[in-house]
Amino acid sequence: MRLPGRIAAAIDVLADIDAHKRPVAEALKAWGLNNRFAGAGDRAAIGNLVYDALRRRASLAWTMGADEPRALVLAVAVREWGEDIATLNDSFGGDRFAPAPVTPEEATRLTAADPLAGAPDHVRADVPEWVVPHLRQSFGEDWIAEAQGLADRPPLDLRINTLKANRDKVMRGLGRFTPESEIRIPEGIRFPAGARDSRTPNVTSEEGYLKGWFEVQDFGSQIVAALASPRGGEQVLDLCAGAGGKTLAMAAAMQNRGQIFAYDSDRTRLAPIYDRLKRAGVRNVQVRAPGAGVLDDLRGKLDRVVVDAPCTGTGTWRRQPTTKWKLTPEQLAARVAEQHAILADAATYLKPGGTLVYITCSVLPEENAGQALAFLAANPEFTAIPGNKLWMAHFSGTKLRARFSPEGGVAVTPRTSGTDGFYCIAMQKG
């Protein structure tokens, strides 16, 4: 396929998402199944057009004066990808799959010197308007820049599984894909996002992945798993384990010594953990499937409880842009209530001197500092471990940066750290 056909396909996929409220990945997969002539490069380019449009939907719609799929995709092609309008129209005329040519009115908007002239702050930030006070509370004067970072393309990050491999071994296995040579975090390897129709490698079909030498995991997720500070020989509960990404990272940090109990209240979320544990060579994890009383024997006995809490996912807007535009105040309130209940339950599993680690992939204060402060106020036997102290214990020799908040929390974001947005605080029981 040439660019005109790819643009037309992206318009169709966006229209499908809007009409049927489908997840992006599902809509792209459906288009691919119905258009089997498209190659891997075509599908990647169409996906890039769609995701780029969704990440910056508010600012692109303002630029075009319309929130229609055609307007969004044309804005991506010209404003983001640098396509020339005259060249586009020439190519449209010679391609039967192309959309209609760019109109004079569209061309005027697409070439405006300041396409966001007069735009309100939430449009410049590419966020829902109701979220603005929450982001301002989290980031102060930097909130627009931080929000814009959440609208960038994400890289592909890997975590080296030190139970089976080392950096040299993994880098050799992936050398043909030219991963970034800079070491940003100890066990991390990065493939930059690229621009336009660039593709990140399909590493999950590689020998190293199938043999468990590495896992796909954003650097932010790797960072908070390290800040959880599990030690070999400890008894640890991963209370919201999900598919097990942080469970595996902690098991490797513990070098298969001690015991991790991996639990999640949702069987579907937990299901992938079994194959992942086997592939990674993890032997110190006991999975506890959801059920009445399945964790009762652990109450008051554990050294460390890690709560990777269900949250709004605002820190992962780069990867899941549709969730940004669907989020509501009611959903935020529901998540905050859920987190409060989970933290109260998590505390009951710790023995004296144990540590409760609270993690979210959110950048909203109600889910982060607000939640931690409420817990500490209600549980005076707990004391927060200063975030800068925790950080220096793990990342003092790196170029990574983080935000430290007064209650003891550590936060990373795309703009600050080059990662997804995460929050972490460790609180020790007296």
d(CA 375, CA 202): 42
Largest CA distance in the chain: 73
* DSSP 3-state of 251: helix
d(CA 336, CA 329): 11
d(CA 302, CA 161): 25
d(CA 284, CA 251): 7
* DSSP 3-state of 351: strand
The residues annotated as belonging to the active site are 361
The two structure tokens encoding residue 254? 């513990």
CA distances to 283, 349, 380 from 421, in Å: 30, 28, 28
* DSSP 3-state of 63: helix
- Strands 422-429 and 350-360: what pairing? antiparallel
d(CA 387, CA 410): 5
